[in-house]
Amino acid sequence: MNLLPLTIHLSFAGAFLALVAGSRSAAAARWIALLSALAGWGVTLWAAVHFDPGAGYASLLNLPWIESLGIRFHLAADGISLTLVVLTGLAAVAGILFSWNVQEDTGAFFALYLALIGGVYGVFLSADAFLFFVFYEIAIVPKYFLIARWGSTNREYGAMKLALYSFAGSGMVLAGLLWVYGAAGGTGFGFGELALAATRLTHHEQLIIFALLFVGFAILAGLFPFHTWAPTGHVAAPTAASMLLAGVVMKLGAYGCLRVAMPLVPAGLTYFQPAIAWLAVIGIVYAGLVALVQEDFKFVIGYSSVSHMGFVLLGLAAGTPQAAAGAVLQMFSHGVIAGLLFAVVGRMVYERTHTRRLDELRRLPLHRLMPFTAVVFVVAGLASMGMPGFSGFPAELSILIGTWPVSKLWTLGAALGVLVAAAFTLRVIQVVFFSRTDDAVTVADHPLPPLTWPERIGAGLLLAATVVVGLNPALLLNWIIPGLTSPGLQAIWTGGTP
Amino acid sequence: MRLPVEYLWLIPALPLAAAGVGSLTPRGGRALAADVAIAAMAGAFVLACLALTSALADPAAHQVANFAWFDLGGGALRLGWLLDPLTAFMAVMVTFVGLLIFIFSLGYMKEDPNFTRFFCFLSLFAAAMLGLIVANSLLLLFVCWELVGLASYLLIGFWFHKPSAAAAAKKAFITTRIGDLGLLLGMLWLYDASGSLLFYDGGAGVLEAPVLSTLAGQTLAGGLALSTAIGLLIFCGAIGKSGQFPLHVWLPDAMEGPTPVSALIHAATMVAAGVFLIARVYPLMSADLPLDVPMHALTVVAFVGAITALMGALIAVAQNDIKRVLAYSTVSQLGYMMLALGVGSWTAAIFHLLTHAFFKALLFLGAGSVIHAAHHEQDIRNLGGLAPRMKVTFATFAIGMMALAGVPFLFSGFWSKEAILHAAHGWDVSQVPFYVGLAAVVLTAFYMTRLVAETFLGRPRSDAAAHAHESPAVMTVPLGLLAAGAVVLGFLGTPACPWLQSRLAGTPLHSDLGHLFEGGGLMLLSIVLVGAGLGLGWWLYGRRLRAASTDRDPLAVAAPRTLGVLAGKFYLDELYAATVGRLNAALAWCADRLDRHVIGGAVEFLGKFGLFSGALNRELDEDAINAGFDRVNAGLRGSGIRYSRAQTGEPQGYLRVLAVAFVVLALLLIVGGVR
């Protein structure tokens, strides 16, 4: 376990090296990026093998940082963090494999990419709210540059919209944190200290703080109606960035809700639960419906991400450990599946056909031009619509099981979302891959570059992850559940009353 | 030899392995893919027979093997295998019929370029179907239930180059998933109420007395018992999967799949899964309720079944596609089975399920043989005169037709249908299902006579029909075996010796030849009705055979408007397209507009507001606070330039105001008390 901080060092070191090497050789930058991402993932897997679920929220590194303000460089991890860093490692490796062909400023690209990954690792491992916030910001900045520099459609607009939304959320989070910090007498930013300080505030103040923190974080998780940055951002982003955006960055928001907002002010969840849950349910169905009529392939996947993140938010808002366990599992599952879907859309299809418009794609016999891609997308689509055998099924099932005793209506709404997901997924599968079926068009008419090995390996890794977790969700749930029921998060389930 | 319940998973595992092999086999490996699939199915059949012997050793027992899948903190979600006579009979039927259909497909799909993929999907289907049957947990059953739906989707859309096939596949998947939504919610409720989803678990399972009495004892708002509510939600799943009214619309469209698929999935096995599901959870559906409870779940089942039985039979009368006639007939027969479940005789329902699987698979494969011989001509108006050209197909098809029509004594359909009518007659709630059942008897005999007369008799009405010749042995041998089953199977459950029913129910067998004609009046009545249907069919279609494909249907001459409504399938597809379809499209459109314009517009507005206040700040900073004497000189010009700079959209300006605006919004929400 206490090797986990290495993931952060490896990522930033990799970023630096890639930048230096990139000025001489693009290939060197690529390999440095891949190796450091692999090393990071390896560390997380090593930690997973040696994980002790009974250890609780275990400190990994605890050094004084800005002593005058009581800020510490404190890293810790439990099963929830572990699940998410394993996901981060996997997403990082897969993203690099799908960016193997980046030609412009390769060094800078991978440097920003790895800096983003380092920030994400940092967020998932921080046990000091200030440190958490710093890493959170570190993760946002490279994202802006990745989109604005290497993106496509409307990239400045998409990048700016995304950055502004993120900063708006961050601003709210910072305000909330400082408020509690001030109330604590400015002694420190440890999660435990802040939670204790928050209990000394009035109920009204607690509610305001909760709203600031939760909404601030949930913006990044795609909470309706603050979700519109997500589809435009995804569409504008280069493939690897949209994979990371959907795969891990949206999880930062959800993780912030779970690790910071909810345990800090448990009373807030009790008070705002109906509002949050309804927004989540609306988001699930609404984004699904919007996805149903999109004419841009990537917008469909972008909105499907919002819909699936609605499940995460519902799982958190339900306020039961079962639903929250499902939410964390869904974070992992969606990270893998959305990454795969974006890889297919952005890298495997768009970079070969140079169009994402459904009415143009339907004129190509894609199932014959790229059979492997078609199979990958069909399987990923099945996973995305919650088919048993893939990770989305146990995740959504757990969320529904945990939500049912709280509200049957929310459960019904979310279950309707599953139906809508099937509808829009089948629609794009058929339109994109299986529309043009006459034999008049042959493969020779549309010479497309063949699939490369990095793409195959990346797709294989992600598919394997969703199937393994789908068949044996206990693998992750055995880490997640002890984390959720540990003393630090216990207050969430009791609404603050011990 | 027996198969212990711990090894029951081998039955679905064999076809699953075959599907795995098939998915890795390249297109050229046709023989390998087919051989592995057929060998696996044969192995599964042997194991199913062994399982049957184990189950019959003690028919009243429910042997289980349970295990935990994952733990959600509040208790593990457990899955398991269940071996009882219901499981075993179903497994034997599915593996045997499946095996024959696999073999038939060797001939039928011979020319298809995607032969290996076909066998891969078929094996996947068989694995999921068998998993559904051996499941001892509603959750595992649901998992397999979804997977059979997936396999069905893949196989209906197997010829996706036909747009109609692609559309039918999607329609089937979405429509059945609407029903599955109910099943899912029922499952969640059941888990919440009982803490388990295992059917049998040494007294703690959801189908065992302690849990059942708790569920039946709780009443909800409106006086509904909890067990009734859960039962009805579960029944929603059965409505979708088993093509019951009002969700039956997908099943006839599913005929776009290759004919062996129609035979296996959309006639013999998957569509019967809904009937199996209700039979499986029968203790829950029929749990003893307090006397003042207004509605019983089974009453709904009975009436839905009755409506479906009648409606399917009526529509079948007016179809011209050989497979669609059979498809509506399947809808109707599934309605019969539901009716039997509803009126309290689940053993009669399963008896009919088993006999129907044989004769309907036989009819579909016979239709496949015809279609294969007539170069994919499926319109019966263009067929005709096939009897002398395809003797085996005709003979076996005729046996299937007589079994379906319920021709007395020799054919299995007669005995199973009789059992259902007997049960419906004895139902104490209402006699309506009974009379509906009688009406469907006439209609079934009628449309089957029409189908046989139009297809096989007279002179060929197209080149394709004129040049048809008998299919190869790989196709006719399965027909013969199924035909044998369509006859013999009936003798397992005659009133004289209701062996099948007593084994299913785990009760002692009372065989007495004197009971053979028990309820003689009823039996006589149904024989007369079958005769009437056959006679009427013969009178209209057999006596004077259609000479050319353009001849008008005799019914269209007699009652054009009625036939129009029937041929239009009561216009339910149009109704759904105009209501549900439109609503969905409108909602999606509205959501899209809302996202683009209202939410997007609000963001734009905030951005503009940001620019504006950025400019304002600058004015305050530089023009008001730093008011220096140079302002007097350059004031107007300078601020003009600065305004224009602000318009380039500096992030800080956006940012500050966005943050402030969100805070204000949050405060408003809190003060306003969002609840």
Q: What percent of chain B has pLDDT over 90?
A: 30
Instruction: Spell out where B392-544 has E strands.
Output: none
Number of alpha carbons in the 13 Å side-chain half-sphere of residue A152? 16
Summarize the confidence of residues B468-476 as an average pLDDT: 85
Q: Please write the tens of the pLDDT for every residue from A213-255.
A: 999 999 988 888 888 888 888 888 888 888 888 889 999 999 9
C-alpha closest to that of B191 among A314, A400, A388, A401: A401
Lowest mean pLDDT among B22-31, B40-49, B415-424: B22-31
Q: In whole angstroms, give the CA distance from residue A247 to residue A44.
A: 17
Kindly list the distances between the CA atom of residue A143 and the CA atoms of A91, A159, B528, in Å, as whole numbers in the listed order: 15, 8, 79
Q: What is the pLDDT, as a whole number, of residue B646? A: 46
Q: Which residues of B touch A165 (CB under 8 A)?
A: 658
What are the phi and psi torsion angles at A286 (to 5°)?
-60, -50
B 546-585 near A (Cβ less than 8 A): 584-585
Mutation site, B16, B23, B71, B72, interface A, largest A CB count within 10 A: B72
Q: Which residues of B touch A398 (CB under 8 A)?
A: 72
User: pLDDT band at residue B103, thresholds of 50, 70 and 90?
Assistant: very high
Nearest-5° Cα angle at A398, A392 to A401: 135
- Tell me if A401 and B670 make a contact (CB, 8 A cut-off): no
Q: For residues B80 and B64, is the Cβ–Cβ distance under 8 A? A: yes
The answer to whether residue B368 scores a pLDDT higher than 50 is yes
User: pLDDT band at residue B654, thresholds of 50, 70 and 90?
Assistant: very low
Number of alpha carbons in the 13 Å side-chain half-sphere of residue A397? 26
- Tell me if B71 and A478 make a contact (CB, 8 A cut-off): yes
Mutation site, B177, B656, B662, interface A, largest A CB count within 10 A: B662
Residue B149, both tokens: 């739906």
* A&B contacts, CB < 8 Å: 160
The answer to whether residue B185 neighbours chain A at the CB level (below 8 Å) is yes
Q: For residues B353 and B337, is the Cβ–Cβ distance under 8 A? A: yes
Q: For residues B259 and B367, is the Cβ–Cβ distance under 8 A? A: yes
Task: Cite the DSSP H helix spans in B469-559.
Answer: 473-488, 499-505, 520-537, 554-558
Q: What is the pLDDT, as a whole number, of residue B643? A: 46
Q: For residues B267 and B329, is the Cβ–Cβ distance under 8 A? A: no
Summarize the confidence of residues B298-309 as an average pLDDT: 91
Q: Which residues of B touch A402 (CB under 8 A)?
A: 72
Q: For residues B331 and B312, is the Cβ–Cβ distance under 8 A? A: yes
- Tell me if B181 and A275 make a contact (CB, 8 A cut-off): no
Q: In whole angstroms, give the CA distance from residue B295 to residue A18.
A: 71
Nearest chain A residue (CA) to B150: A387
Q: In whole angstroms, give the CA distance from residue A173 to residue A211.
A: 9
- Tell me if B670 and A274 make a contact (CB, 8 A cut-off): no
Residue B62, both tokens: 């429910």
Look at B547 and B124; give whichever has higher pLDDT. B124
A 254-293 near B (Cβ less than 8 A): 272, 274-275, 286, 289-290, 292-293
Nearest chain A residue (CA) to B154: A378
B153: which DSSP letter? Answer: H
Q: In whole angstroms, give the CA distance from residue B404 to residue B425.
A: 20
Task: Choose among A204, A274, A293: nearest Cβ to B589.
Answer: A293
- Tell me if B173 and A161 make a contact (CB, 8 A cut-off): no
Q: Please write the tens of the pLDDT for every residue from B253-262.
A: 888 888 888 8
Q: Which residues of A touch B19 (CB under 8 A)?
A: none
For chain A, the domains span: 5-494
The answer to whether residue B177 neighbours chain A at the CB level (below 8 Å) is yes
DSSP string of B368-390? HHHHHHTTS--BGGG----TTT-
The interface pTM score, or ipTM, of the predicted complex is: 0.91
Residue B1: other Cβ atoms inside 10 A: 7
User: pLDDT band at residue B672, thresholds of 50, 70 and 90?
Assistant: very low
Q: Which residues of A touch B667 (CB under 8 A)?
A: 208, 211
User: pLDDT band at residue B621, thresholds of 50, 70 and 90?
Assistant: low
Look at B156 and A164; give whichever has higher pLDDT. B156
B5: which DSSP letter? Answer: G
Residue A445: other Cβ atoms inside 10 A: 10
Q: Which residues of A touch B161 (CB under 8 A)?
A: 437-438
Q: What is the pLDDT, as a whole number, of residue B628? A: 53
User: pLDDT band at residue B142, thresholds of 50, 70 and 90?
Assistant: very high
A 316-375 near B (Cβ less than 8 A): 321-322, 325-326
The answer to whether residue B295 scores a pLDDT higher than 50 is yes
- Find residue A59's DSSP bridge partners: A76
Lowest mean pLDDT among A145-149, B50-54, B328-332, B603-607: B603-607
The answer to whether residue B659 neighbours chain A at the CB level (below 8 Å) is yes
Residue A262, both tokens: 């909810």
Look at A93 and B652; give whichever has higher pLDDT. A93
Q: Which residues of A touch B659 (CB under 8 A)?
A: 167-168, 171-172, 175
Summarize the confidence of residues B266-292 as an average pLDDT: 85
Q: In whole angstroms, give the CA distance from residue B603 to residue A229.
A: 10
C-alpha dihedral (B503, B508, B514, B519), degrees to nearest 10:
-70
SS3 (DSSP) at B294: coil
C-alpha closest to that of B322 among B396, B399, B247, B397: B397
- Tell me if B192 and A484 make a contact (CB, 8 A cut-off): no
Nearest chain A residue (CA) to B141: A388
Task: Choose among A208, A398, A485: nearest Cβ to B670.
Answer: A208
Q: What is the pLDDT, as a whole number, of residue B670? A: 45
Q: Please write the tens of the pLDDT for every residue from A162-216.
A: 888 888 889 999 999 888 888 877 788 888 888 888 888 888 888 999 999 999 9
Q: What is the pLDDT, as a whole number, of residue A439? A: 61
Q: For residues A303 and A227, is the Cβ–Cβ distance under 8 A? A: no
C-alpha closest to that of B163 among A159, A298, A362, A490: A362
The answer to whether residue B649 neighbours chain A at the CB level (below 8 Å) is yes
A213: Cβ–Cβ under 8 A, 6 or more apart, which residues? A172, A173, A176, A177, A256, A257, A260, A261, A264, A265, A268
Task: Cite the DSSP H helix spans in B65-136.
Answer: 85-108, 115-134
Cβ-based burial of A370 (10 A; exposed 0-12, middle 13-18, buried ≥19): buried
The answer to whether residue B652 scores a pLDDT higher than 80 is no
- Find residue A76's DSSP bridge partners: A59
Q: Which residues of B touch A483 (CB under 8 A)?
A: none
- Tell me if B662 and A171 make a contact (CB, 8 A cut-off): yes
Look at A330 and A153; give whichever has higher pLDDT. A330
Number of alpha carbons in the 13 Å side-chain half-sphere of residue B279? 31
Burial state string for A282-307 with b = 16 or more CB within 10 A and e = fewer than 16: bbbbbbbbbbbbbebbbbbbbbbbbb
Q: What is the pLDDT, as a whole number, of residue B629? A: 46
- Tell me if A289 and B599 make a contact (CB, 8 A cut-off): no
> Which segment, A33-42, B105-114, B663-672, is predicted with the most confidence on average?
A33-42
Q: What is the pLDDT, as a whole number, of residue A445? A: 67
Mutation site, B156, B175, B176, B188, interface A, largest A CB count within 10 A: B188
- Tell me if A167 and B674 make a contact (CB, 8 A cut-off): no
Helix (H) or strand (E) holding A410: helix A408-428
Q: In whole angstroms, give the CA distance from residue B361 to residue B367.
A: 10
Burial state string for B583-599 with b = 16 or more CB within 10 A and e = fewer than 16: eeeebbeebbebbeeeb
Q: Which residues of B touch A168 (CB under 8 A)?
A: 655, 658-659, 662
Q: In whole angstroms, give the CA distance from residue B386 to residue B464.
A: 10
DSSP string of A243-289? HHIIIIIHHHHHHHIIIIIHHH-HHHHHHHHHHHHHHHHHHHHHHHH
Nearest chain A residue (CA) to B669: A211
Q: For chain A, what is the mean pLDDT?
A: 87
The answer to whether residue B35 scores a pLDDT higher than 50 is yes
With tokens 């008011």, the residue in question is B627
Q: What is the pLDDT, as a whole number, of residue B620? A: 66
Summarize the confidence of residues A54-66 as an average pLDDT: 85
- Tell me if B143 and A394 make a contact (CB, 8 A cut-off): no
Task: Choose among A325, A400, A419: nearest Cβ to B178.
Answer: A419
A 30-59 near B (Cβ less than 8 A): none
Look at B388 and A261; give whichever has higher pLDDT. A261
Cis (ω within 30 of 0) for the bond into B258? no
Q: For chain B, what is the mean pLDDT?
A: 83
